Amino acid sequence: MPSIAFLWDTAGKATIILSVAWLLALVLRHRSAAVRYFTWTCALGSLLAVPVLSTLLPRWELRVKMPAVAHATRGVAIADAALDSAPAPADTQPAPPARTVAWPAMIWLAGALVALARIGVGHLRLALSLRRAHEVAAPEWIAARDAAAGRIGLRRAIKLRRSVETDVPLTGGVFATSVVLPAASDEWDAQRREIVLLHELTHARRRDPLLWLMAQAAVALYRFHPLAWLAAARFRREQERSCDDAVVRAGAQQSAYAQHLVDLARSVTHAGAYAAALGMAATSGLEQRVRALLDARRNRNGLSRRACWIAVAAVLAAIVPLAALHGQESKAPASLSGNVYDASGAVVPDVLILLKSANHEEAARTSATGEYAFVSLPAGSYTLEIRQPGFAQFQKTIVLPDGSQTNITLGIGQVAEQVEVVGKAPRPPATNVTPRRIRVGGMVQATKLVRMTKPVYPPGAEAAGIEGTVMLRAVISTSGDLLGLSVLNESMDGELAAAAMDAVKQWHYQPTLLNGEPVEVVTTIAVTFRLER
């Protein structure tokens, strides 16, 4: 489960991203809907990318210092509480800190899971409904679809389906996109057929169902962030407006398009199983869409592929450092104190206590009453260590500031004696050792093929279309000839193997040299027979 700190960190970064997106949308209010749609797409995509990148990228910490007074006050309070406490009996250790439930994280996780489950159920219903829908194979519809696809540059084949579960045309399916037509589509004239197909196929070409699913997932994960809901609403509005502009750029008459849009919206009664699909004539925002369609001065330019990639690169350059950035509040100094007892419960004075961490080490001695104290310690994990004569070695890991009050009980050390008896070894007999010369080697000169006879493709195998690779093994002798040549893959065609053997046995090598002397080595040879198509 994510920690509360991680949620706050992610929520803060989401606020930055969405605030920048709203500012850009305000600056780009006179630009085309395609530009604003791309802006909101990048913003919602960044919301999903930032938590993932935050866990994968190296941490870049930005420390925020607390006021000095707060540091001093907190340190004194901890020290006073530790030193004023009465000594605890030896058999009573301080209770471990109670585990608290991170309720904000649990509430967030439950809400996100419920929202994601609703999205999953909606798309499951959509997939089942698409299966029940009948595929349209009428020649006039197929011809209209191909003509519309050619006008907008769609190269994928999109299936047309007809269903009684919808009243308006829809684009559904995240990966295998389909255009769903209502039952009344048989009565449409050629103009409405053309406009509807241009609109829905534009959604399919831009993969808008997949992008809408991305936006829904972002809202599910940030469901408690109001800016995320507003961003998804603006995303959906600009998605339809940019699609309308693309249809107008494809040659549709604006007034006729607006009229058909209003007529289709009048027939809407229910979404049914297609609630997860993109409906062409949704009643929400219809008036603004019609006004935009009839506005002759409206900017309807699209966004080039090159501009999209440049913008994506700029977004990545911005969110990667943001994801790696983690704010860290510098904490007040921690303290550690307590008493040292022996096994009988009596205090032990003048005990040297070592406190070690990866980059920090402190030492303290117990007072006459067995008390010890460490102050002004950085928070973190430490090892508490005591080596006192007569007592067993004591070692314990402590995490500060949680373990700021720790009492120690020393056990009696084990008694062990060790005796070493030393005698004289007998003198070894004198021997006449003749120094010998040590031969130094390790110099290897690899073998080299100096004469090769190229294999000939057997006519029978060539005519039969037989191909393959013959694997041969042999020993390169000290004279450079091949000894013991054999075929490793016995399942290989006999003609190919024979042709390879006949040629390779004529090969000659420069032998391998070890310290200047020729030696035998094993070699493996692959002869590939391939036919040109």
- Tell me what pLDDT residue 433 has: 61
User: Among candidates 470, 494, 480, which has minimal Cα distance to 447?
Assistant: 480
Task: Using the predicted structure, report yes or no on whether residue 99 has a pLDDT greater than 60.
Answer: no
Higher local confidence (pLDDT), 452 or 104: 452
Q: State mean pLDDT over 500-510.
A: 92
The CATH label, of 3.30.2420.10, 3.30.70.100, 3.40.1440.60, 3.40.50.720, for the domain at 444-529 is 3.30.2420.10
Cβ contact 6:328 at 8 Å: no
Among 140-149, 315-324, 378-387, 395-404, the range with the most confident prediction by mean pLDDT is 140-149
Task: Using the predicted structure, report yes or no on whether residue 96 has a pLDDT greater than 70.
Answer: no
Q: Is 443 buried (19+), middle (13-18) or exposed (0-12) by CB count in 10 A? A: exposed
Task: Using the predicted structure, report yes or no on whether residue 295 has a pLDDT greater than 80.
Answer: yes
Q: State mean pLDDT over 397-416.
A: 77
Domain-wise residue ranges, the chain: 60-94+333-418, 103-322, 444-529
Task: Using the predicted structure, report yes or no on whether residue 22 has a pLDDT greater than 90.
Answer: yes
- Tell me what pLDDT residue 418 has: 56
Task: Using the predicted structure, report yes or no on whether residue 265 has a pLDDT greater than 70.
Answer: yes
Looking at the whole model, is its pTM more than 0.85?
no
- Tell me what pLDDT residue 83 has: 34
Cβ contact 408:339 at 8 Å: yes
Q: With bands split at pLDDT 50, 70 and 90, how would you rate the model's confidence at 73?
A: very low
Cβ contact 472:488 at 8 Å: yes
Looking only at the bridges linking them, the beta strands covering 371-377 and 334-341 are antiparallel
DSSP 8-state symbol, 273: G
**What residues contact residue 275 under an 8 Å CB cut-off, 6+ apart?**
122, 125, 126
Looking only at the bridges linking them, the beta strands covering 134-135 and 159-163 are antiparallel
Q: State mean pLDDT over 208-214.
A: 92
- The CATH code of domain 60-94+333-418 reads 2.60.40.10
Higher local confidence (pLDDT), 273 or 185: 185
Task: Using the predicted structure, report yes or no on whether residue 398 has a pLDDT greater than 90.
Answer: no
How many Cβ atoms sit within 10 Å of the Cβ of residue 386? 20
What percentage of the chain reaches a pLDDT higher than 90? 33
Tell me the one-letter amino acid at 304. Answer: S
- Tell me what pLDDT residue 88 has: 42
Q: With bands split at pLDDT 50, 70 and 90, how would you rate the model's confidence at 179?
A: very high
SS (H, E, C) 361-413: EEEEECCCCCEEEEEEECCEEEEEEECCCCECCEEEEEEECCCCECCEECCEC
Higher local confidence (pLDDT), 98 or 276: 276
Q: What is the mean pLDDT of the chain?
A: 81
Q: State mean pLDDT over 234-262.
A: 91
Q: State mean pLDDT over 62-91.
A: 39
